[in-house]
Homo-oligomer: A and B are copies of this chain.
């Protein structure tokens, strides 16, 4: 079995964290640890990397501080629970963790020190940042969504078994992308030439049915809407293998948001931006510009709603977006014409037109940055 990152890494980090606290107590010092502020004021756009990440504002958590003592104890309880989960080789979610914390903190503590999950969630993040791990490394699964098809294999070290999954043999279903694509999962024989991420499952199914990923030798992914942590991490990993990443979404507020979240990461997850952002990603479409090139789309544009217009205006304010004249033109077109476009429209002339569209865009490298 592939050496688990957790056994060799996260578990040890948790132990060192606990031992460090103990040592400080033994030395008569007040135990403390350092984390980074995740407030918006400490989120910055890293020009060089092209991702949203945290700035240097660190925060100390001190046990000997009336305002922090309870949260410190709570953090230790979370660390202890996660250490147990890793030792047992069992996973749960931040909700499962919360119920464990609320029920009992251990044999010796009977007091109810957790009331709401809103108390435990930020402390999990504290621990992630402080230890330099992701919650997935703490055996805390995040929501998963999305499927994949393509010429590669997955080795899933699961339940003591080595399960091999050929993602080119999953039929109409595709391979359901797990929450954690790092620990106990290997991607082998990745033979594709590029990654195609498609916003909607319906369009993914269309392309899968046409064997698009076979013909064009790509890895075909749908996040089924916004990309989960696991999918963003998977896209990052595939990009690290040298594959170009093309994202195919609606030309509307939601489609743009999904793209930029994949590309630069998000404010909320700026603390793991390095691991989940893929600045190399390119936007394949659909675009308002497509309407000039594909005449039939004129008939199929939709009225943009307030959310779309407002989002376009906001995006024009972001320096990492308005530096690209192509995006400025695209967003201004939406604001000016008050229209938007769905990727599903490309099925209008014939069901397989989507395939032709993507093939041509990839061939001409006709992307938005």
Chain A interface residues toward B at CB < 8 A: 85, 88, 90-93, 95-96, 99-100, 102-104, 112, 141, 143-144, 147, 154, 156, 158-159, 161, 163, 165, 169-179, 201-202, 205-206, 209-211, 296, 299-300, 342, 344-345, 347-349, 351-352
Contact present for B299 and A345 (CB under 8 Å): no
Contact present for B158 and A202 (CB under 8 Å): no
Give every chain B residue within 8 A of A95 (Cβ-Cβ).
202, 342, 344
Give every chain B residue within 8 A of A349 (Cβ-Cβ).
103-104
Give every chain B residue within 8 A of A211 (Cβ-Cβ).
159
The one of B104, B174, B179, B202 that contacts A176, using a Cβ cutoff of 8 Å: B174
The one of B144, B179, B206 that contacts A92, using a Cβ cutoff of 8 Å: B206
Bound state CA distance, A64 and B51, in angstroms? 63
Contact A348/B102 with A112-B299, A201-B143, A205-B179 known, Cβ cut-off 8 Å: yes
- 6 other contacts beyond A103-B300, A158-B172, A176-B176, with CB at 8 A cut-off? A90-B352, A92-B206, A99-B342, A147-B176, A159-B209, A161-B171
Bound state CA distance, A163 and B93, in angstroms? 33
Contact A347/B92 with A102-B300, A165-B170 known, Cβ cut-off 8 Å: yes
Bound state CA distance, A173 and B141, in angstroms? 13
Q: Can you give 21 A-B contacts (C-beta < 8 A)? A: A90-B209, A90-B352, A93-B202, A95-B342, A95-B344, A96-B206, A96-B351, A102-B348, A103-B299, A112-B299, A141-B202, A143-B201, A144-B205, A156-B171, A156-B172, A156-B173, A163-B171, A165-B169, A173-B176, A173-B178, A179-B205
Contact present for B202 and A100 (CB under 8 Å): no
Count identical subunits in the complex: 2
Give every chain B residue within 8 A of A202 (Cβ-Cβ).
92-93, 95-96, 141, 143
Nearest-neighbour CB distance to chain B for A326, whole angstroms, equals: 26
The one of B93, B96, B169, B344 that contacts A99, using a Cβ cutoff of 8 Å: B344
Give every chain B residue within 8 A of A90 (Cβ-Cβ).
209-210, 351-352
Bound state CA distance, A99 and B286, in angstroms? 15
Contact present for B299 and A102 (CB under 8 Å): yes
Bound state CA distance, A112 and B299, in angstroms? 9
Bound state CA distance, A91 and B348, in angstroms? 13
Nearest-neighbour CB distance to chain B for A296, whole angstroms, equals: 6
Which residue of chain B lies nearest to A139 when distances are taken between CB atoms in the complex? B351
Bound state CA distance, A210 and B349, in angstroms? 49
Bound state CA distance, A165 and B349, in angstroms? 34
Which residue of chain B lies nearest to A155 when distances are taken between CB atoms in the complex? B171
Bound state CA distance, A178 and B91, in angstroms? 27
Contact present for B172 and A178 (CB under 8 Å): yes
Contact A165/B156 with A85-B351, A95-B344, A349-B103 known, Cβ cut-off 8 Å: no
Which of A112, A141, A172 neighbours the largest number of chain B CB atoms within 10 Å of its CB?
A: A172
Nearest-neighbour CB distance to chain B for A148, whole angstroms, equals: 10
Give every chain B residue within 8 A of A100 (Cβ-Cβ).
347-348, 351
Give every chain B residue within 8 A of A154 (Cβ-Cβ).
171
Contact A99/B205 with A156-B171, A173-B178, A299-B112 known, Cβ cut-off 8 Å: no
